[in-house]
Amino acid sequence: MKFLVFLGTVRDSTPPSPARLGLRVSKACIECLLSHYTEHEVELIDPLDYPLGPVFKPHFAYSQRTVPPELNELADKIESADGYIMVSPEYNHSMSPALADMLNHFGSSLFSYKPSAIVTYSAGQWGGMRAAVGMRTFLSELGCLPVSAMIHVPKAQEVFAEDGSVQAGQNQASWFEYFSRTFNQLIWWAQATREHKAVVDPHKIVMPLKIDPSQRNAP
């Protein structure tokens, strides 16, 4: 199966804390996934690789001929993936605007009927818990329901080095065991939804909203 790790930071300055702590956390997640689940593919989606333009215009608002190639490329990756790992810092007790912006560029039909895992971190002691709570709502609305276990990394700068390896004094096995609780759930759900989708196409049963959100209104 194929999993995308969405990185939720574009911050390239400091202070506070070393810049783009999220890159360390994402690299650690990828290392854990590749070492524990060797049969699966994992790809990092870095928002800096997909410039989205100064004015918000989502993928689905373009005609097919005019959609920017990088948006199309990312849409294809989202559609063909089996699950998502959403890595977000906590900014003002909320998920990162960079992550929300990137995800908002794509319709829920690309994400739906596939699971996601919530990974949050912070420079402080709460590990992004408050951002994680809001992410449940956001990801559920996108249709990639988050698994129940979550990963939170407090003081991420003290846990992971720039290359994603653990800092001196940290135990990699303990961190990966903690990560695996969430990743095991993600992979179980991804396998289950993949197999069931091959039997029943959900998009034939629940039509995507093609015209207007009022299509789902109560009568």
Ligand X SMILES: Cc1cc2nc3c(=O)[nH]c(=O)nc-3n(C[C@H](O)[C@H](O)[C@H](O)COP(=O)(O)O)c2cc1C
Based on CB atoms, which residue is closest to ligand X, 97 or 202?
A: 97
151-183 b/e with 16+ CB inside 10 Å = b?
A: bbbbbbbebbeeebebeeeeebeebbeebbebb
CB of 8 to ligand X, least distance (A): 7
Based on CB atoms, which residue is closest to ligand X, 127 or 143?
A: 127
CB of 177 to ligand X, least distance (A): 24
Find the DSSP H helices in the chain: 21-36, 69-80, 97-104, 108-111, 129-142, 156-159, 172-199, 202-205
Could you tell me if 74 and 50 are in contact, meaning their C-beta atoms sit under 8 angstroms apart? yes
Based on CB atoms, which residue is closest to ligand X, 2 or 93?
A: 93
Based on CB atoms, which residue is closest to ligand X, 40 or 136?
A: 136
CB of 187 to ligand X, least distance (A): 25
CB of 10 to ligand X, least distance (A): 8
Could you tell me if 49 and 186 are in contact, meaning their C-beta atoms sit under 8 angstroms apart? no
DSSP letters along 142-163, please?
A: HT-PBPS--EEETTHHHHB-TT
Based on CB atoms, which residue is closest to ligand X, 30 or 145?
A: 30
**Footprint of ligand X on this chain (CB under 6 A)?**
9, 11, 16-17, 19-22, 89-93, 122-124, 126
CB of 24 to ligand X, least distance (A): 8
